[in-house]
Structure 1
Amino acid sequence: MVTPATRPEFGDYQCNAALALAKRLKAKPRDVAEKLKDALETRTQTWCEPLEIAGPGFINVRMTPAFVESRLNAMLSDQTGRLGVPRPARAQRVVVDFSSPNIAKEMHVGHLRSTVIGDTLARVLEFLGHGVLRLNHVGDWGTQFGMLITHLKDRHPHVLAEGEAAAQTDLGDLVEFYKTAKQRFDVEETFKARSRQEVVNLQRGEPATLQAWRTLCQLSRVEFQKIYDALGVDLEERGESFYNPLLAQVLSDLDASGLLKESEGARVVYLDGYQTREGEAQPFIVQKSDGGFLYATTDLAAARHRALEEKAERILYVTDAGQASHFDQVFQVARQASLVPPEVQLKHVPFGLVQGEDGKKFKTRAGETVRLKDLLDEAVRIARDDLLKRAEEGTQPLPEDLERSARIIGLGAVKYADLSLNRESDYKFSYKKMLSLSGNTAPYMLYAYARIQSILRKGNNGENEDRLSQGSSPPVVLAEPAEMNLARQLIKLTELLLRVEAELYPHILCEYMYDLCQKFNQFYEACQVNNAPTPELVRSRRALCVLTAQVLRLCLDLLGIEVLERM
């Protein structure tokens, strides 16, 4: 019922409770608003100006300058680096399931979305003080490994040897390796039969087959790690194979709960709200008629393990929106069979598709899925070329460490372009837009941060100034409207982080940063900093600069983006 004000003249917050209450009380909204105002004013007078009633019954709330100053000074004096953001009264154990590539396949742009969204949510939750387990649910089990192992044995028979040498096998392009194996499986009957037998061997734990499987997994991990290192993402792998020994217990629990049924030889669960085209109950298959298990069974085992063994209180699944129905069914089964206690939150965090600038699915000119490695390398290359061009034109000096600057700008631009939009929306991938120095982009944020550092250096003999020495008198005194507008935005940091924690939308943080940068620019245009009329004003305005830089750096770090002191 209390939301940020839609326009500055309405104050800082608005309360529309009177409108909803009026209908139930059969009274005029403004009369209800007057009663609320009278009841609230004794509780709010220490931090806000007299409440105002506007329109049909909105209550406008405006913080007093003294309160804003006190919050700013508390942020500045916080020696923990948390900028006044409190830790939770009780920390939660949270599992974030994200990234999740498949063995023997390259990571693509879809994995980018899952990886950067999941990493940001994990970073925010960790910063707020929760215990976060970052899980990478890698696709490292299933029938496809039969053909991959058979192809590996045919082309690289030395992998059957025990020892580390097998894990160093050079298979060349893993995508081509997968494609060739699939082509053989589709046209060679003997190869297909041998592949099916290898699936049986894998499930039985036959040593040579397990060695070949481990080699494929390790080679893929090496390639995945290159991407994670570039993006600065930490993950703990818990592939499908990890949960394989737990599947029988899931079936036992489903049977004990009375949910497990048979349908054409398969073992299934029937759920409310899901029907076939013929209007019959749609079965949720947990074991095929040949005894094989499905992704659904693994996801049930994973949810059970995370809740009961990992003691998770909140489990987040960061996957594309196309899997919404799957997770809804998994969650229903997990609840009905009591695989997950009722107090544990199961939450699907969906995201939309990445499109090309033509609005179609993002692919290469040859129609292939864009490899994530190539996409990131191209972003860094464009950023490097842009820095060189600007240096040649004389618009800005060449960075001392060109490669590092290009990497931070290029990778930051890719991440920010994804995170700055509502994650549920599809978005058009455009290097030109994401690398622009104007608008809500990473380069704009990085430039704003570097600009503030430049302002501080000019008044500090060329040295960086991350913190102000705290004196006995409050460092910040707000006099000008532009100062107050900037200050109000700064003290909303905790509020914004708590919104991201609750709603799981990273773009909330990006919008906050963009508004903060705009308010800082307005402040800097209206108020002299290093040449302010009095020493007290110089100190106060430099404090605003320091705090703005600290908040920007923290927010960028929560997005997984490094900063540049000079740009």
Structure 2
Amino acid sequence: MQTPKEHLLRNFSEALEHSFHPLSQEAGSVPLEITKSTQDKFGHYQFNSAMRLAKPLGQPPRAIAEKIIENLSKDGMIEKLEIAGPGFVNITLLPSYLSSLVNAIARDERAGIESPATPQRIVIDFSSPNIAKELHVGHLRSTIIGDCLARLFEFKGHDVVRLNHIGDWGTQFGMLIAFMKQDVPEAFQNPEGYALEDLMGWYKQAKAKFDSDENFKTNSQKEVGRLQGGDSSSLKAWEAICSISRQSYLEIYRLLDIEIKDRGESFYNPFLKDVVDELQKKGLVQESDGALCIFMKGFTNREGEPLPLIIRKTDGGYNYATTDLAAIRQRIRDEKADRIIYVTDAGQASHFKMIFQAAEEAGWLDPQKTRVDHVPFGLVLGPDGKKFKTRSGETERLIDLITTAIEKAYSIVSERQSEMAEEEKRHLAEKLGTSSIKYADLSCHRTGDYTFSYDRMLKFEGNTASYLLYSFVRIQGIKKKVGKETEEILNESQAVLSHPSEIALGLHLAQFGETLDQMANDLLPNQLTEYLYQLAEKFNAFFRDCRVEGSEEEGSRLTLIVATERVLKAGLHILGIGTVERM
């Protein structure tokens, strides 16, 4: 379904061409701009390009606006056009046009969102836990934001590859393998019998032994060599360690309803030497203090000196940069990615700028063919405004944060629905707890820090998951009260919008696709949360102002409600939030 903005841009573009040909060719570099009106008195949309067209067309902005309006096809969609100020054009859409869009949305399980003619292959790198370590609150944002973006592009009809770039390789594994072979060899035979807490305890003991026992240190270094050399017993030990860790983060993904494919640093290990060799052959590498580096324009340290991207350390070992270069090369060459998105904390922004530029200079990345984005995010803060930690001062474990939210949600559910069966209470509490965590995170602009608060995120009023879910439940209640299912409503009725609250809701529903397009470009989930919050507000205003059951407009208004249900459910799905039937 074409959005109102797309429809208007097409019509205004044709009117510009018709009004000023051949001068319109001079104005071709000026992108036409249609924006949503900020106030009702300015109509529904505004055409804002007349001022920028004045120079190439050699005419006053208002004269340009008048000429375009004179030749503009209203195309059964425009009720009123008004020129304001120096040349803004205020646009009001016909209720009949909005009614037709609402009817199309109501009858489409995809809420009017068409699949692309040529789907893109989009690789999204997110979550990225480290083996033998707990997922903590710092992993929360990458996991939730990455999943939301993956759901967005999947919903829009693209081919999405969800990758979990796990920290599963490096010298620390030699130390851990050496300790486990010596002290807990049985763990290699039965990794399912052990938990991540066991692994973390062994790691602490191994580190203490590494620092105090030269023989153990030497043995650990040998284990690294065996592992990197492909020794079968070392690989089996490494696989057992990964298996124990995987049990922990998979439980978190289950609770958060996250699907992701593990592809750790170990996957790229065989390619690292070839990457360095290729970069050397292309003349991009310089030696600096025994390390192999790439120096690129625009990157300097605090002293203003050239900042190196180190791709091989002085000891001959590789590092994160080497692995990330191998990854971007593989994702472009083998995955055939049209777009690659990395979701990590803001502290890695400079690193990824260097990786992208190095890949471009190496000839792997062509920005005209493959778009790359780093999606940075800020910190999760505690009530004291500092980095979120436990009362003991340690970083909050992600599993504890999630289970606490579920427990608090259970208390709220038990108080509100005391007659509800216990199993249903538990199910609803899990949904409500995890949904509240997700929404609280996604509703904040991702580049900023946000303060974590269980009480605020679990509220049933304001911009929260509970408020949106309650609006969805209210829709189910209306349908139940009139005794009609969706199919029956759509077979019997068409939406005909006339009341101002109906028109306001219908216009907002028609703008769902525009919101998704903007989010796909900006990669800001809060654009969708704000849209859905406004949708719930407009729906509740409509419900307040317009009687449904028994009214002359019952069928029309039920169709509008079905369209609202479609969009609300689709939007919540993209956020990773499942709907519920009652609360």
TM-score class normalised by the smaller sequence:
over 0.9
Kindly indicate whether the alpha-carbon contact (under 8 Å) linking 2:196 and 2:248 is maintained by their aligned counterparts in 1. no
Kindly indicate whether the alpha-carbon contact (under 8 Å) linking 2:196 and 2:245 is maintained by their aligned counterparts in 1. no
Identity fraction in percent: 48
Structure 1, residues 89-139: CA drift from partner, whole Å, max 9, x if none? 210011011100000001111211111111111111011110001000000
2:76 matched to which residue of 1? 46
1:384 matched to which residue of 2? 410
Distance 2:468 2:195 in 1: 42
Distance 1:245 1:46, change over 3 A: same
Distance 1:297 1:400, change over 3 A: closer
2:255 aligned with 1:236: no
Alignment counterpart, residue 217 of structure 2, candidates 192, 197, 222: 192
Distance 1:208 1:524 in 2: 67
Distance 1:330 1:294 in 2: 13
2:93 matched to which residue of 1? 63
Kindly indicate whether the alpha-carbon contact (under 8 Å) linking 2:346 and 2:376 is maintained by their aligned counterparts in 1. yes
Structure 1, residues 526-566: CA drift from partner, whole Å, max 9, x if none? 1100121x2xx110111111221221111111111111111
2:437 aligned with 1:441: no
2:437 matched to which residue of 1? 414
Residue 181 (structure 1) shift = 2.9
| Long gaps (5+) in structure 1 | none
Alignment counterpart, residue 574 of structure 2, candidates 544, 550, 558: 558
2:129 aligned with 1:97: no
1:3 matched to which residue of 2? 35
2:451 aligned with 1:451: no
2:155 matched to which residue of 1? 127
**1:147-166 maps to which residues of 2 (within 5 A)?**
147-159=175-187, 165-166=190-191
Alignment counterpart, residue 500 of structure 2, candidates 481, 489, 505: 481
Q: One-letter code of the match for 1:38?
A: E
Distance 2:312 2:178 in 1: 25
**Residue range with higher mean Cα deviation, 176-185 or 213-222:** 176-185
Q: One-letter code of the match for 1:524?
A: F
Residue 480 (structure 1) shift = 0.7
Q: One-letter code of the match for 1:98?
A: F
Normalised TM-score (structure 1): 0.93
Distance 1:170 1:410 in 2: 25
Q: One-letter code of the match for 1:60?
A: N
Distance 2:192 2:237 in 1: 9
Kindly indicate whether the alpha-carbon contact (under 8 Å) linking 2:381 and 2:452 is maintained by their aligned counterparts in 1. yes
Alignment counterpart, residue 142 of structure 2, candidates 88, 111, 114: 114
Q: One-letter code of the match for 1:8?
A: D
Q: One-letter code of the match for 2:580?
A: L
Alignment counterpart, residue 297 of structure 2, candidates 269, 272, 278: 272
**Residue range with higher mean Cα deviation, 248-257 or 26-35:** 26-35
Residue 207 (structure 1) shift = 2.4
**Residue range with higher mean Cα deviation, 13-22 or 309-318:** 13-22
Secondary structure, counterpart of 2:228 in structure 1: helix
RMSD of aligned alpha carbons = 1.9
2:233 aligned with 1:208: yes
Distance 1:348 1:287 in 2: 23
Distance 1:188 1:171 in 2: 25
Distance 1:169 1:519, change over 3 A: closer
Distance 1:414 1:173 in 2: 28
1:325 matched to which residue of 2? 350
Distance 1:466 1:227 in 2: 35
Kindly indicate whether the alpha-carbon contact (under 8 Å) linking 1:388 and 1:398 is maintained by their aligned counterparts in 2. no
Residue 506 (structure 1) shift = 1.1
Distance 2:207 2:87 in 1: 66
**Residue range with higher mean Cα deviation, 234-243 or 398-407:** 398-407
2:39 aligned with 1:15: no
Distance 2:385 2:421 in 1: 36
Q: One-letter code of the match for 1:566?
A: R
**Residue range with higher mean Cα deviation, 136-145 or 45-54:** 45-54
Distance 2:231 2:455 in 1: 52
Distance 1:531 1:174 in 2: 64
Normalised TM-score (structure 2): 0.90
Kindly indicate whether the alpha-carbon contact (under 8 Å) linking 1:22 and 1:28 is maintained by their aligned counterparts in 2. yes
**Residue range with higher mean Cα deviation, 211-220 or 193-202:** 193-202
Structure 1, residues 151-194: CA drift from partner, whole Å, max 9, x if none? 2223212346xxx5355445644433333333333344433332
Alignment counterpart, residue 252 of structure 2, candidates 214, 227, 243: 227
Distance 1:175 1:467, change over 3 A: farther
Kindly indicate whether the alpha-carbon contact (under 8 Å) linking 1:390 and 1:397 is maintained by their aligned counterparts in 2. no
| Long gaps (5+) in structure 2 | 1-32
Distance 2:191 2:97 in 1: 65
Residue 446 (structure 1) shift = 0.7
Distance 2:407 2:345 in 1: 28
Aligned length: 550
Secondary structure, counterpart of 1:339 in structure 2: coil
Secondary structure, counterpart of 2:547 in structure 1: coil
Kindly indicate whether the alpha-carbon contact (under 8 Å) linking 1:490 and 1:548 is maintained by their aligned counterparts in 2. yes
2:454 matched to which residue of 1? 431
Distance 1:397 1:545, change over 3 A: farther
Distance 1:25 1:322, change over 3 A: same
Residue 505 (structure 1) shift = 1.1
Distance 2:213 2:85 in 1: 75
Q: One-letter code of the match for 1:437?
A: F
Residue 308 (structure 1) shift = 0.6
Distance 1:171 1:454, change over 3 A: closer
Structure 1 segments (4+ residues) deviating >6 Å: 396-400
Distance 1:325 1:468, change over 3 A: farther
